[in-house]
Amino acid sequence: MLRFVVRRLLQLIPILLGLSVLLFAWLRALPGGPAQAALGERATPEAIARYNELFGLDQPLYVQYLRFLGRAVQLDFGNSARTGRPVTQEFLERMPGTIELTLFAMVFAIGVGIPLGYLAARRHGSWLDSASVIGSLLGVAIPVFFLAYLLRLLFAVELGWLPGSGRQEVRIDATRITNFYVLDGLLTREWDAAWDAFTHLVLPGIALGTIPLAIIVRITRASVLDVVNEDYVRTANAKGLSTSTVRRRHVIRNALLPVATTIGLQTGLLLSGAVLTESVFAFGGVGSAIFDAIFARDFAVLQGFILILAVVYVLVNLLVDISYGLLDPRVRVR
């Protein structure tokens, strides 16, 4: 098992190197190059020349790339053109919000998705089954930002049941420890702050969770239907095990294998791609930052955030692969 993990980790290196080359090339290829990107569109030629000299942009490309790589390894991605603060610092402040949101969305998607998918498969052909199939098709077809707007309009603006923007009420003067607002509230025993932060997660979390929900329902259903027809289930039934034992030990256990993978992959996607939902709810996580950076043409932030998020995505995928190896011994052998 250890060798399996080490081998996987080693295989990450070329991918990460390739990624860094791509993003380096990306910044170089932008109209005006990195100097313009950092100084803004109205930079004078002298300022650009000074910047180029200062940051070694007059050096040969491979020297520049190695420098970029050296700084990237130290998590130094320069400063945001908009706020002037280090990109890494901005990222670290915003990531906890995105993680909280992802957790909420995934708990929602798993909590609803697995039971629903399982029931749909158990009652194969019933109205519940058809409804879940249609629902899961719709869930993937609805543009997520439109759903987010609808939820916000209905439950935040019209009905006023839940907050529709931000991560916490401004008037709440909460103590910050980890920047995970819910966790902070719990740690400092500021219950109202924790509760308030939690209610801010509900609407964006549901909007964000619909796509994983739809996929989880579909995979669970298909997988349970597959497993039910397996020989070992027939054997288990034939040897007279009780129905509930067969279901618990043989059907659900095996059926959840592909579901676990899906959950992992979707978590990786959500952590890196909540740009749409977060910007509708002005959530203030990583996604909103990318949205703002697009409009401000803040390339330092875009480059840094995309590189870090891609690394996060790759690492989560790696975790999924490793956990797959743990869950399914057959994978390790190959």
Q: Which chain residues interact with other proteins by CB under 8 A?
A: 8-9, 11-12, 14-15, 18-19, 22-23, 26, 29-31, 137-138, 140-146, 149, 153, 157, 261, 264-265, 268-269, 272-273, 275-276, 279, 290-291, 294-295, 297, 299, 302, 306, 309-310, 313-314, 317-318, 320-321, 324, 334
What the block records as the tokens of 168 is 């916490």
In whole angstroms, the minimum distance from the beta carbon of 242 to other proteins comes to: 31
In whole angstroms, the minimum distance from the beta carbon of 202 to other proteins comes to: 20
**Closer of 252 and 294 to other proteins (Cβ):** 294
In whole angstroms, the minimum distance from the beta carbon of 240 to other proteins comes to: 31
| Contacts of residue 22, Cβ cutoff 8 Å, sequence gap at least 6 | none
In whole angstroms, the minimum distance from the beta carbon of 32 to other proteins comes to: 12
Main-chain phi, psi angles of 177, to 5 degrees: -115, -55
CB 114 within 8 A of CB 209: no
Main-chain phi, psi angles of 285, to 5 degrees: -95, -160
**Closer of 33 and 183 to other proteins (Cβ):** 33
In whole angstroms, the minimum distance from the beta carbon of 220 to other proteins comes to: 16
Main-chain phi, psi angles of 80, to 5 degrees: -65, 135
- Judged on CB neighbours under 10 Å (0-12, 13-18, 19+), 110 is buried
| Contacts of residue 52, Cβ cutoff 8 Å, sequence gap at least 6 | 35, 58
In whole angstroms, the minimum distance from the beta carbon of 274 to other proteins comes to: 9
Give dist(CA 78, CA 68) in Å, integer. Answer: 10
**Closer of 149 and 195 to other proteins (Cβ):** 149
Give dist(CA 274, CA 276) in Å, integer. Answer: 6
